[in-house]
Amino acid sequence: MKIRNIILSFIIFVFAIGNFRCCEEISVLCDLVVDLFQTPEQITIGQSFNILADVLNQDSGEKCDVVELANSTYSLVEVFLENSNGGWDLAGAQDYLQDALEVSEHFNLEDLITINQSGNYRFDFYTDSPQTVDERDENNNNASDNSDGKTPDIKAAMRKTNNYAFYYTYAAPTPDGRATIQDKPIVEFK
């Protein structure tokens, strides 16, 4: 009985020391993740539509670190038009001030955009686009939606993180057949 108690005490001691060592050096970092990014799959040129994005400062879960306030930064939306060679040309971009986020707090972005030329478009969304927020895990996942097999072609390093998402949209001609709205930029942010 005495040996059993000694062994049990030793196991509890080892377990306690192991847990203490795990949390001995506590990291205090935030972790931003793109929870949602969405545009309509098809729009008609000249008509405004919403883009939606949601960014979360996620908690650490089971890890031995503490999530802190994610300082204010910028999110970036870039709009690319597919060219005749199958590549992508930048058609427009917009920065959005992202407020500081407490643990488990969200930043929601909703904006109206108008496309004035028909074609295939790719919308790229980056949270913390200037990379000013130190994060616990810059490479823990890649958020994307409606990828249809096409591979993004710029900012490759950031695209491997959870700070990036993309979406494809087709801009159809107007009902009367016009493929371009004259005297307007290709992309207008409201």
Higher pLDDT, 154 or 54: 54
**Per-residue confidence (pLDDT) for residue 120, from 0 to 100:** 93
DSSP class per residue in 167-189: EEEEEEPPTT--SB-TTS-SEEE
Q: Are strands 164-172 and 119-126 parallel, antiparallel or unpaired?
A: antiparallel
Instruction: Provide CATH code, domain 28-189.
Output: 2.60.40.10
Closest Cα partner for 172 from 77, 79, 41, 38?
A: 41
| Contact by Cβ (8 Å): 79, 37 | no
- Bridge partners of 89, per DSSP, are 81
pTM passes above 0.85: no
Give the start-to-end residue ranges of the domains of the chain: 28-189
pLDDT value at 121 more than 90:
yes
Q: Within 58-178, where are the H helices?
A: 156-159
